[in-house]
A = this chain, B = another copy of it.
Amino acid sequence: MVLARLILGLLCLAPMTGYELKKHFDSSINHFWNADKAQIYRTLAQLVDKGYATVTTVAQSNYPDRQEHHITDAGRQALVGWLSDGAAQGTERDPFMGQVFFAAELPREDIDQLLSERRVKTQAVLDDYLSQREGIDMRAAADRRSFLMAATLDHAIRQQAAELEWLDAVMEHLP
């Protein structure tokens, strides 16, 4: 149900097609959520028949018709309701930590490899986030909306950086 709220949030910024929503998920939302195309279209349909959004078909000259989804007042209310609702702090799930937890079953060199591979990937993710942040840095402090959006990216950056430090510590002290 988080996905439904996130979509409402995006529709709150501007009316959009499922296709555009997917692009937003892949570009600006990817540091804290990801969503499958099919899931997006299905959730959109649900939002419409719950009355949280409406659809308008907009014809285009060259490209396919846009099924433009607009948030309704009920949708806006649902969004605000979710936003102020203390969200149960669901346990973060990290498959990689599962691997580390049981990695003692592996020979030493495989453990080292597991960790250093992860380090490379984490660094790559961090670099990606850092380059994303470059495009917004200046104007971020300006209005509250941009500030908060940028803040979530900063969070992701801090998390990745903390993981790098942790990886280095583990690799150094592993008996």
Interface of A is mostly: helix
A100 close to chain B: CB less than 8 A: yes
Shortest C-beta distance, A160 to chain B (Å), equals 10
A89 close to chain B: CB less than 8 A: yes
A30 close to chain B: CB less than 8 A: yes
Q: Which of A154, A161, A170 has the most CB of B within 10 A?
A: A170
Given contacts A33-B93, A84-B113, A91-B34, contact A102 B79 (CB under 8 A): yes
How would residues 65 to 77 of chain A score, 1 for a CB under 8 Å from any chain B CB and 0 otherwise?
Answer: 0000000000010
Shortest C-beta distance, A79 to chain B (Å), equals 6
Chain B residues with Cβ under 8 A from A135's Cβ?
none
Number of copies: 2
Given contacts A98-B33, A155-B163, contact A104 B175 (CB under 8 A): no
- Bound state CA distance, A31 and B97, in angstroms? 9
A-B contact pairs, 23 of them (CB 8 A): A2-B93, A6-B101, A32-B93, A32-B101, A33-B98, A79-B102, A80-B106, A83-B103, A84-B106, A86-B118, A86-B121, A89-B121, A92-B92, A93-B93, A102-B148, A103-B148, A104-B144, A141-B173, A144-B174, A148-B174, A155-B163, A158-B163, A161-B162
Interface residues of A (CB under 8 A from B): 2, 5-6, 9, 12, 29-34, 76, 79-80, 82-84, 86-87, 89-106, 108, 110-111, 113-114, 117-118, 121-122, 125, 141-145, 147-149, 151-152, 154-156, 158-159, 161-163, 165-166, 169-170, 173-175
